[in-house]
Amino acid sequence: MALHIATPLIESCSMSASTGRPTWLKLDAMQPSGSFKIRGIGYACEAYLAKGAKRFISSSGGNAGLAVAYAGRRLGVPVVVVVPETTTERAKTLLRLEKAEVIVHGASWQEANAFAQSLICESDAFLHPFDDPMIWQGHATLIDEIFRSGHKPDAVVLSVGGGGLMSGVIEGLHRNGGSTIPVIAAETTGAASFHAAIEAGRTVELEHITSIATSLGAKRVCEEAFRWSKKHPIRSVVVSDQSALTACERFLDDHRILVEPACGASLAVVYENAPELKAFSNVLVVVCGGATFTIDQIRQLERG
Ligand SMILES: *Cc1c(COP(=O)(O)O)cnc(C)c1O
């Protein structure tokens, strides 16, 4: 039994009406850990457990850490999540609700991650949030479910942080005979590490992350995501933080589901009817979700 669930696939009548093209939603916001991340991380955790792992270690105070915590609780494996001092009380509370041991260490993610690495013993497994072939394999199940249902989109809109979701979705398209279906890769200004890689012709490290979409805040995308840009049709779109926030609010009104601005970036591509969508008549949006924002936070950030 996989740790993720098969999520609903529904048409968004409001998006279809406002864009003039049928638009479908893959609702991974409904995953038990609040985001798609449990697909890949759940798959990797099960594989590590089968190989004898006795403890899972993560350095993510976001949705990746929540997915590891959920997987560990379900599999009966202890989980340690090391997070920096900047981590919100809400994130720590959510991790503890999943029975993870939360260690607060260092002023930045780099310091927390270095400490997490130093804890790793022989029988531990470290779960990377996006750069691991097992993670991509697990994320690919999202596309398996869509093809199994008989639905065939002509474009897929998704958000890119470190590029794990995109690598998994494209792997899924290829293993289901959808290797020509374009992907529209949404990022926010200030977290656009995939866009920067496309511009530079190689992966590059952003100096600072300035976007409020914290779940997109990988300074460098994984090489796998960049490799796919050479072999698969991908269009990179960058939206503003404001657009992502407004999209979250509108989505809550339209579908009664609260998602993070990281997911709002993809929703904004559709709500703003971006020119990149023009050629398509059956769009699939990966509603990747995210559990770390409240509606109050989103409204406060929107006011600026
Ligand atoms: C992690 C995450 C992303 C980005 O996924 P990557 O695999 O890092 O590209 C987008 N949205 C949400 C809600 C996330 O948790």
Note the pLDDT of residue 149: 97
Band of residue 189 on the pLDDT scale cut at 50, 70, 90: very high
- The vertex-126 CA angle with 123 and 130, nearest 5°, equals 155
Mean pLDDT of the chain: 97
Of 58, 63, 94, 183, which is best to mutate to test ligand 1, by the most ligand atoms within 8 angstroms of its C-beta? 63
Residue minimizing CA distance to atom 2 of ligand 1? 215
Note the pLDDT of residue 251: 98
Six-digit token string for 181: 């279906």
Residue minimizing CA distance to atom 13 of ligand 1? 290
Atom in ligand 1 nearest the alpha carbon of residue 161: 9
Mutual angle of helices 37-50 and 164-175, in 10-degree steps = 80
Note the pLDDT of residue 109: 86
Q: Measured between alpha carbons, how far is residue 39 from residues 129, 141, 190, 298 in Å? A: 11, 7, 27, 26
Average pLDDT for 109-124: 94
Atom in ligand 1 nearest the alpha carbon of residue 166: 9
Q: Decide if pLDDT at 298 tops 90.
A: yes
pLDDT in tens, 203-213: 999 999 999 99
Structural element, H or E, at residue 122: none
Residues in a beta bridge with 79: 56
Q: How far is it, in rounded angstroms, from Cα 156 to Cα 143?
A: 10
More confident residue, 40 or 87: 40
* Radius of gyration (C-alpha) of the chain in whole angstroms: 18
Establish whether residue 164 lines the binding site of ligand 1, counting it when its CB lies within 6 angstroms of any ligand atom: yes
pLDDT in tens, 231-270: 999 999 999 999 999 999 999 999 999 999 999 999 999 9
Establish whether residue 130 lines the binding site of ligand 1, counting it when its CB lies within 6 angstroms of any ligand atom: yes
Tell me, in angstroms, the distance from the centre of ligand 1 to residue 152's CA: 23
Band of residue 124 on the pLDDT scale cut at 50, 70, 90: very high
More confident residue, 148 or 108: 148
Residue in the structure block whose two tokens are 């977290």: 191
Residue minimizing CA distance to atom 15 of ligand 1? 63
Residues in a beta bridge with 287: 27
Tell me, in angstroms, the distance from the centre of ligand 1 to residue 216's CA: 6
Note the pLDDT of residue 1: 78
Tell me, in angstroms, the distance from the centre of ligand 1 to residue 260's CA: 10
Which residue segments constitute the domains of the chain, with CATH numbers given?
9-36+134-303 (3.40.50.1100), 49-128 (3.40.50.1100)
240 alpha-carbon distance from chain centroid: 18
Note the pLDDT of residue 108: 86
Structural element, H or E, at residue 231: helix 223-231
Establish whether residue 63 lines the binding site of ligand 1, counting it when its CB lies within 6 angstroms of any ligand atom: yes
Is residue 9 within 8 Å of 24, Cβ to Cβ?
A: yes
pLDDT in tens, 33-79: 999 999 999 999 999 999 999 999 999 999 999 999 999 999 999 99
Band of residue 287 on the pLDDT scale cut at 50, 70, 90: very high
Establish whether residue 161 lines the binding site of ligand 1, counting it when its CB lies within 6 angstroms of any ligand atom: yes
Tell me, in angstroms, the distance from the centre of ligand 1 to residue 215's CA: 5
The percent of residues in the chain predicted with pLDDT above 70, rounded, is 100
Note the pLDDT of residue 150: 97
Quick check: pTM over 0.95?
Answer: yes
Tell me, in angstroms, the distance from the centre of ligand 1 to residue 137's CA: 15
Note the pLDDT of residue 304: 82
